[in-house]
Chain A
């Protein structure tokens, strides 16, 4: 579903992705972790070309993302993305947030868009808030709406860029629950997160990135958490810091 071959990216003279390659199959849930500054967020944003790359190839469902001739809006409309800071549109109601791209991008009629959007809103348990503005919702609720917004577009894959990092601790659970449900349904997901509980519970594979944009590990969840002694020193150091003692 997603294939990345030898991708490198620079901001000026600073290299932020260094020869990254990875593969995500349909239905897989892959967690990307690593210290800040390791390029995780940049990496996930290259998949829908929010961040362009200077070298390498990225393929999503057979579409060449790195190719300048590719119709990026069309590709992006099929790739759902959830951001650290939710990025709901504050000037639109929850319902309008859910329907605007369906109508303007996918060309759905208002009724169809609304029906689909509200179905997704129900799924994240927020039907009662459909007429509110994002500013009237808690962080956890906003992020659930953001997930519903992405799902309304019927994506073939979902990208999560630190979806719980900006949340108060007591709101992390409600967002993760939605994500666990999605994974259980077979959604292909790539998740940048420090939530190792989530990684352990639902991921198939774990990718570990280190400063400078290197992919240091790309291994099955069981191997990653079950055989810590076999991990790279940098990975062990990182895991020792963030796993509960």
Chain B
């Protein structure tokens, strides 16, 4: 029960736990947001989300109940993951617990809690918001180590008070990791295109927000034109995007810290569909010259670009494998848009999609075990995943129009955008096994999401 926690938790997730019907139904009201119902899948069998109680206490000197705020964010994070059913705090029997003490086990098993995250939030000596949290396994009546420090199995994260939500996300990430065996993804950001205005005269701006939709902001991009397809560098410090004006299509690199953008290279024709290599040293993109579109790769240090494909057909949407050795891309060289994989030097291109329908926007998962894609079939668009050789295709979601998949850094979730007929686009996320599908809130049109790596 102690050290190798992930295998155990996997077993728990797969249904060895008592049902938590009451708890699950309560949980819906907790998050308070319109999140889709939890959905098990055939491939995983019937899955019960882990029921967990979150209880962080603490008040700032100003009287602000920071503990409650952090609790709410952790609950919303875990709830949205599809793997947890947080319990409504109003159901708690034990309503306060010193962070250094063990819980009253029977009070927690009485509300069907399988786990309890108990902690306190306060302003530390450096003036930062800090939360110290311990995680308890109610059934085995033991602490689950959140930190690697054997003398202090709990964990504390601190941050500047303005970024108190990150303190909550960090804790949610660790709880998620300890109990599912996968890295968390809550302390991440989404770069996207904020859309406004009428169709046909859309204003498209570069924007960024937290993974849960909090703290949306426009990024100060110079110049005019529509901003299209932002993509994060692997370290999250840069965003490559396409800027489209009446007479040009160019790629820019935006430095997130310096809040500055610069155009990369001067190519004849249109440059679009940028994507970083995993080590950040290269940028792959498409160049259209005349009727032909090919994939190029640029060394970002020397700014020298070389052409990888020379087929007269359309070659676009390049995406590197995580080891940098291969590039998946969209091509219609066979007569219709399909997905191909080639060596990172352009060698040995091979078609991998034969499922009937049109395939595009391939994106390698962070582990390289899957490729996410957009499929068009029977008048609908779907987001799906398949093995890098094209086998094992699974469609996760479908609608009138959706595209642009981007992976969470842990490879378990895909965000994309969906546009209803004649309507504004919005961001959605789905779990790779179809466990959850939910809207990512943003007050306006939102498209072309790009998921950042975990923040430092």
A and B interact: no
Which residues of B are in contact with A by a Cβ distance under 8 Å? none
Which residues of A are in contact with B by a Cβ distance under 8 Å? none
